């Protein structure tokens, strides 16, 4: 019998660099966002000049390039000046005041045990170290809408560092729901999150440029056609002007072509994998979740037509505040949805899985 790998042969002539399609890949060149890149750079420039920088909220729909644009500009900033250090936090992983402060503290070399320390102790130690350094912390709170309820105390902690201690701090909050952060206390808005920057959904033409650019980086020249680029960007355009969807479609189409032993992606490949793209992005999201989040999803799933918040708290058996925090996070991820039911004072939220 022949060897199954020998019969399969080499990986084919589709992907020149498949890594260019990985979720955390940041391209050297951010396309169609020149204005936003400049605006961010303008807000950050004071850091290199020992002046006070302006904090920013970046908001917009999924896949509009918020994360990659911010990361790109910060990479350039670190390249340009040594007067800053960057703390990037995805609030899905750091949803609480304590975890965010601890992460910043760790970044400046403070050891923070998981338990047995109060937020204020971490804060005080952090202030002590920041006072000693010339460097400006640039704190990126990605998916910042996950920080809800009492956990928003983190914003006051940062204000105190800035105002009471006179330490320069740059905060960049990234969110899908700009209106959420706009509702914050005026003190937070006037002191910490002064300017708002919207990332609009990409137009079909912009998506085409982005997909074409990525194809050049990741695929062999003969492995795709303009038509394939058009279908992929069209699908992203139809699904919310979302570059992630368009790029994932091209990636999966490439894999499909490879599987079928062709050297070129054809429109049929794209059509074949279309249905799977949205599902696989959702699956990826769920896989990124922790145990408690998955448990909550499972309970809601089993609840079918909708579960009251109280029923969820009961089943989980953790304190209500924690569960509420996680429900907010899962909702902002688009995995579950909630409506209010009942009237007047007895109104309660009912949760179900978002299809």
What are the residues binding ligand ATP (CB under 6 A)? 27, 30-33, 60, 62-68, 176, 210, 243-244, 247
Least distance from C-beta 347 to ligand ATP, angstroms?
Answer: 30
Spatial strand order in the sheet of 84-90: 84-90, 136-142, 170-175, 56-60, 195-199
Q: Quick one: what does residue 248 bind among Mg ion, ligand ATP, none, with the CB cut-off 5 to 8 Å set by partner type? A: none
What angle separates helix 243-259 from helix 267-287, to the nearest 10 degrees?
Answer: 120
Least distance from C-beta 193 to Mg ion, angstroms?
Answer: 17
Least distance from C-beta 352 to ligand ATP, angstroms?
Answer: 22
- How far apart, in whole angstroms, are the C-alpha atoms of residue 144 and residue 171? 11
CB atoms inside a 10 Å sphere around CB 187 = 12
Nearer to ligand ATP by C-beta: 102 or 175?
Answer: 175
Residue 176 interacts with Mg ion (CB under 5 A)? no
Nearer to Mg ion by C-beta: 270 or 281?
Answer: 281
Nearer to Mg ion by C-beta: 143 or 170?
Answer: 143
Q: Quick one: what does residue 276 bind among ligand ATP, Mg ion, none, with the CB cut-off 5 to 8 Å set by partner type? A: none
Nearer to Mg ion by C-beta: 8 or 286?
Answer: 286
The DSSP secondary structure of 264-304, one letter per residue, reads S--HHHHHHHHHHHHHHHHHHHHHTS-HHHHHHHHHHHHHT
Residue 67 interacts with Mg ion (CB under 5 A)? yes
- The answer to whether residues 269 and 257 touch, using CB atoms and an 8 Å cutoff, is yes
- How far apart, in whole angstroms, are the C-alpha atoms of residue 114 and residue 124? 17
Least distance from C-beta 327 to ligand ATP, angstroms?
Answer: 19
- How far apart, in whole angstroms, are the C-alpha atoms of residue 157 and residue 163? 10
Q: Quick one: what does residue 63 bind among ligand ATP, Mg ion, none, with the CB cut-off 5 to 8 Å set by partner type? A: ligand ATP
Radius of gyration for the chain, computed over Cα atoms and rounded to the nearest angstrom = 23
CB within 8 Å of 354: residues ≥ 6 apart = 334, 335, 336, 337
> b/e string for 144-160 if b means 16 or more Cβ within 10 A?
bbbbbeebbbbbebbbe
Least distance from C-beta 143 to Mg ion, angstroms?
Answer: 7
Nearer to ligand ATP by C-beta: 208 or 326?
Answer: 208
- Please, what sign has the CA dihedral across residues 178, 179, 184, 187? positive
Residue 233 interacts with Mg ion (CB under 5 A)? no
Least distance from C-beta 199 to ligand ATP, angstroms?
Answer: 6
Closest to 232 in 3D by CA, of 260, 278, 270, 279: 270
Q: Quick one: what does residue 218 bind among ligand ATP, Mg ion, none, with the CB cut-off 5 to 8 Å set by partner type? A: none
The secondary structure element, H or E, covering residue 56 is strand 56-60
Least distance from C-beta 238 to ligand ATP, angstroms?
Answer: 16
Least distance from C-beta 150 to ligand ATP, angstroms?
Answer: 25
Nearer to Mg ion by C-beta: 51 or 283?
Answer: 283
Between 16 and 55, how does the x/- string for binding to Mg ion read (CB under 5 A)? Answer: ----------------------------------------
> How many residues form the binding site for Mg ion (CB under 5 A)?
1
Q: Quick one: what does residue 53 bind among Mg ion, ligand ATP, none, with the CB cut-off 5 to 8 Å set by partner type? A: none
Return the residue nearest ligand ATP (CB atom). Answer: 65
Return the residue nearest Mg ion (CB atom). Answer: 67
Cα within 13 Å of Cα(261), Cβ side: 3
Closest to 247 in 3D by CA, of 263, 262, 258, 236: 236
β-bridge mates for residue 337, sequence order: 352
Q: Quick one: what does residue 244 bind among Mg ion, ligand ATP, none, with the CB cut-off 5 to 8 Å set by partner type? A: ligand ATP
Positions that interact with Mg ion (CB under 5 A): 67
């Amino acid at each position: 019998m022949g060897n199954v790998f020998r019969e399969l042969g080499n990986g084919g002539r589709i992907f020149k660099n498949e890594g260019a399609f990985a979720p955390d890949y940041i391209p050297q060149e951010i396309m169609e966002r020149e204005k936003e890149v400049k605006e961010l750079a303008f807000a950050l420039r004071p850091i290199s000049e020992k002046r006070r920088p302006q904090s920013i909220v970046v908001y917009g729909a999924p896949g509009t390039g918020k994360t990659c644009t911010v990361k790109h500009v910060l990479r350039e900033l670190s390249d340009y000046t040594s007067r800053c250090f960057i703390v990037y936090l995805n609030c899905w992983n750091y949803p609480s005041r304590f975890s965010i402060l601890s992460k910043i503290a760790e970044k400046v070399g403070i050891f923070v045990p998981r338990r047995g320390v109060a937020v204020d102790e971490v804060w005080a130690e952090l202030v002590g170290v920041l006072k000693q350094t010339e460097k400006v912390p640039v704190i990126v709170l990605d998916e910042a809408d996950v920080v809800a309820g009492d956990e928003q105390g983190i914003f006051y902690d940062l204000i105190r560092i800035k105002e009471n201690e006179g330490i320069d701090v740059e905060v960049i909050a990234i969110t899908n729901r700009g209106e959420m952060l706009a509702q914050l206390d005026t003190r937070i808005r006037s002191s910490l999150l002064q300017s708002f920057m919207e990332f609009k959904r990409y137009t079909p033409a912009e998506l085409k440029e982005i997909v074409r650019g990525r194809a050049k980086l990741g695929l062999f020249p003969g492995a795709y056609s303009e038509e394939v680029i058009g279908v992929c960007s069209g699908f992203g355009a139809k699904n919310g002007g979302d570059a992630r969807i368009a790029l994932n479609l091209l990636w999966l189409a490439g894999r499909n072509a490879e599987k079928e032993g062709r050297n070129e992606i054809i429109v049929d490949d794209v059509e074949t994998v279309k249905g799977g793209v949205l599902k696989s992005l959702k699956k990826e999201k769920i896989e990124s979740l922790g145990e408690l989040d998955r448990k909550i999803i499972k309970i809601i799933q089993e609840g079918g037509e909708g579960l009251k918040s109280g029923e969820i708290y009961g089943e989980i058996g953790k304190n209500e505040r924690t569960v509420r925090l996680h429900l907010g996070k899962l909702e902002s991820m688009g995995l579950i949805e909630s409506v209010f039911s009942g009237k007047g004072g007895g109104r309660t939220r009912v949760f179900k899985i978002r299809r």
